[in-house]
């Protein structure tokens, strides 16, 4: 394709045709040929503007401990659906909260979490997870729980924590 377009330019080249417009036309044709060839070859670009940090906050209290395999399956599905530049960590909670998997590390099973499972503190888990975010990446918390909060025992306190975290640009699912 390139030769079919460029050869006539050099054949027609003589002293009368050596002008700036001839040179500009030749350059424009070369650029167009290069773009057509790259497009035909399937060249594409993908750009990710920001990183995303995701923490999965999993309830491993006594009331939900028989569903830990299901929680692991949810976490695996979340990991698969994340964008390319996303990093994920796992926080487990019962009466207290611990980080099970640091951001960007290999995901461990929630059944490996060793903590006091005699209570469920959703507010404490959300507050703890909110302090883990660093940098200017997009921040996201995914909460997996049965909803039985035995510590604060108030839906309004959970709502106020969610509202505060949302104001700090942390998306909560």
The whole-number pLDDT of residue 49 equals 64
Averages of pLDDT over runs of 10 residues in the chain (173 residues) are 70 66 81 86 73 90 82 91 88 90 87 83 90 88 83 74 91 91
CB atoms within 10 A of CB 171: 13
What's the confidence (pLDDT) of residue 157? 82
What was the pLDDT predicted at 88?
93
**pLDDT value for 154:** 65
Question: Which residue from 145, 138, 126 is spatially nearest to 170, judged by alpha carbons?
Answer: 138
Q: Which residues contact 149 (CB under 8 A, 6 or more apart)?
A: 120, 121, 122, 123, 158
Q: What is the pTM of this model?
A: 0.69
Bridge partners (DSSP) of residue 54 are 88, 140
E strands along 34-158, which residues? Answer: 52-59, 86-93, 97-101, 138-144
- Report the pLDDT value the prediction gives residue 114, as an integer from 0 to 100: 86
């Amino acid at each position: 394709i390139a030769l079919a377009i460029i050869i006539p330019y050099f054949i027609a080249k003589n002293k009368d045709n050596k002008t700036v417009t001839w040179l500009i036309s030749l350059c424009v044709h070369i650029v167009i040929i290069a773009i057509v060839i790259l497009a035909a070859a399937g060249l594409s670009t993908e750009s990710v503007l920001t990183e995303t940090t995701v923490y999965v906050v999993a309830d491993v209290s006594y009331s939900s401990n028989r569903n830990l395999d299901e929680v692991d399956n949810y976490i695996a599905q979340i990991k698969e659906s994340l964008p390319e530049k996303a990093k994920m960590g796992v926080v487990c909670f019962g009466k207290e909260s611990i980080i099970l998997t640091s951001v960007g590390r290999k995901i461990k099973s929630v059944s490996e979490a060793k903590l006091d499972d005699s209570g469920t503190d959703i507010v404490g888990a959300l507050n703890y997870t909110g302090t883990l975010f660093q940098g200017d990446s997009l921040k996201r918390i995914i909460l997996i729980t049965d909803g039985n909060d035995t510590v604060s025992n108030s839906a309004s306190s959970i709502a106020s924590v969610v509202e505060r975290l949302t104001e700090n640009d942390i998306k909560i699912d």
